[in-house]
Structure 1
Amino acid sequence: MKPKVYDEDVREFVQQQRGAFLVLSHDALFNKNLRSTLQRHLHIKDDCVFNVVNHEQMHRELRLLTGQGRRIVFFVEREINGKYSHDLVQFIKNQFQDVLIIILTGEVAREILIYLHEIGANNVITKPISPDILIEKIAFTVKPRGQIGEMIDAGKRLNEAGAYAEAAEMAAKILEIKPGSPAALLVLGDSYKGQGMMDDALAAYTEASRNGKLFLDPLKKIAELHKLTGNVREETRHLERLDKRSPLNVDRKIAIGDNYMSLGERDKAVEVFDDAIKLATREAMAQVGRVTRTIAEHCIGSAPDISEKYLRQSIEAKKGMLDKSDIETFNRLGITLRKQGKWEQAIEEYRKAIKIAPTDAGLFYNMAMAYSEGRQYQDAYNFLDKALRINPELWSTSDTVCVNIASVFLRSARKDQAMEILQKALSANPGFERAKALLREM
């Protein structure tokens, strides 16, 4: 159960701090979910939500809201119209430092999550998301947890205002409460740096790095300090440590290569530059994949053969670089093939996807549907059983999924299981006519 304190934190943000939610997303379900959560769960009027559909509208609303002194949480899709919004996030963080950013995405690899936080995301939401978790995500974004979080924010503000001695005092108070706190040590290091005490700043950052091994900021600050003092060798060493933890930053790879060139180590520089090119190529191929997938989605209803062509191109564009973010493409390709009666080819594509995401219940369900369409009911049951072992509540996803599951049970001579699923569905939705009809048929 979601603690009520999260509800109060979000209400306080909107009602007392003049908070506003700026949303750049074409996902109608998320937009509806956000407004519904505020209205029905928190009893907040949705006039604090401002939806925009492009960058021009976003910039206009952002200037207007900040000019009114509003606190802003900016929800933005990781991908808008086939393009990553990473540059946009970095721009907003540089130009509107007080804006809190929540990036919306599907399931992605850990390295991508790390990179999203590194470029400026205050939080990341993996969709779909329930109202309770959405409230919790917003609460953790708009309000630091507890006394220490508030003190750390105060220390950062003091440093930003040039009140370095006061910031150091605040950091000392935090360290008395929580010795070794990496965030407090960063506040302390920044205060020393502001006063020109570089050795003391380096010592504070280094201790923060030791105490927060998964925390990127200490390493970034150490690298910046070495750059400031002209220690190229140490700057490079810490940039490389950052690169190991967050390997998707092309600009950092280029900076490492530049440093090796200035150190006269050309072979190492070329090796790093080659890595940067490979990463940039991967991003470009992903972009091609997104464009072809978008075209395929426009054709899937009226011309599944054309949709199949472009979905295959989307997968081919990322050959050798496929990950969990491509599962939806495989699913759509499978559905497109099934629309054309090519259920065996659909199964081949689902098998490829399962190698990437072996615990994705949806893939096993789709595999079962393909076998069912081929009248291979025992195989359909076997894959459906695997799907339900991964997600026992899969039947409740939608009415169609529920009926499809019951139909496979029935056709594979498992009438009792079919009846059990349908009765569960009717207990949740007594007006479910398709479930009633299938029960009458049995």
Structure 2
Amino acid sequence: MKATISEVKNYVGAEVTIGAWLANKRSSGKIQFLELRDGTGYIQGVVLKNEVSEESWEKAKELTQESSLYVTGTVREDKRAPSGFELTVTSLEVIQIAQDYPITPKDHGVEFLMDHRHLWLRSSRQHAILRIRDEIIKATYDFFHDNGFTKVDPPILTGSSAEGTTDLFHTKYFDRDAYLSQSGQLYMEAAAMALGKVYSFGPAFRAEKSKTRRHLIEFWMIEPEMAFCDHEESLNVQENYVAYLVEEVLKNCQTELKTIGRDTSKLEKIKAPFPRMTYDDAIEFLKSEGFDDIEWGDDFGSPHETAIAEHFDVPVFVTEYPTKVKAFYMKPVPGRDEVVLCADLLAPEGYGEIIGGSQRIDDLELMKERYEQFHLTDPSYKWYLELRQYGSVPHSGFGLGLERAVAWICGLDHIRETIPFPRLLNRIYP
């Protein structure tokens, strides 16, 4: 009977055949221990010389790291085994003997591992991280569908910038200029006017020449947008969504969290609602912590975000930033035009901003003023203005960077491990 490693719990006492790769091997006299992986998990195959044919014994001896094979054996429970099960091998069929596999159990430098990312993915740590990433993706779909959202896919090629910045990848769209999308938000606002509550989940590109451990050139964004929704209601959605992601990872990825050595006690504290701090209070707090260089009106950098987040065990919202440091489409706080109805959600443990969101301007005349202020005279912005002209309503939305969320939930030192093939400032290989 053919089975995967993740399925062997259903076949205790039965004989199964698993297609696998050899992750590692050790021997002790008349016993060979094969650490096998098949993409769904890991299991130890025990080869006893007295219980297999001479041919199978010799084949097992020939196996090298990352050799591929079909292995047949009897499943038995073993509480000492990481998976709780082992395989007593009865026979094996070699598919290919791998020669000189470059990533050995010894330590390798980061650049070497990045050059061999296509193979590094096979390691138990990288396997676990990508399984957790997949769980976060699944939880995202479940959360938004269960809460009445419709998934809408915005374009990747656009004729304008979502936030009016110059950090864009330029290309030619036949005889016109086009850009790789840095955000689907503007299009999601249009979709919300048609469908009420929507979200997108797709790639985004930012040509920032940044080398920090938090930045990727190509990354994935989850961007919900909600009609008839104010800023406070949006914050409630955000905190419930993030708490749900953590809950699902804790529930379904205990093996993976253990593999990467994550302190799950820190994740177990993540429950909504999250604390909130206004930008005004954050400035005062930072000054009290010795950040004498920060002044009201300045945007926060990584050290500032880390200092704020360190005082909380859970993510914290920093709200009502100055208008001048935020995007043109954000709605001012009533009676206080110098700040906007927005929030950044800062993750604990020094991981910085994982969500940025705001209530959007819904007043046509105010949006026209912003167009003039930000010199948005390009015809490619005409359609966005029209959203305020035909049935405008209060609406809010936010964007969560998938890789930053994965880095935080996994407790990783660098964002490069959160995505299968990271695109960094000086790396587009493999």
Shorter chain as denominator, the TM-score bin is under 0.3
Structure whose residues are more often strand by fraction? 2
TM-score (structure 1 length as normaliser): 0.22
Would you tell me which structure has more helix in proportion to its own residues?
Answer: 1
Q: TM-score, normalised by structure 2?
A: 0.22
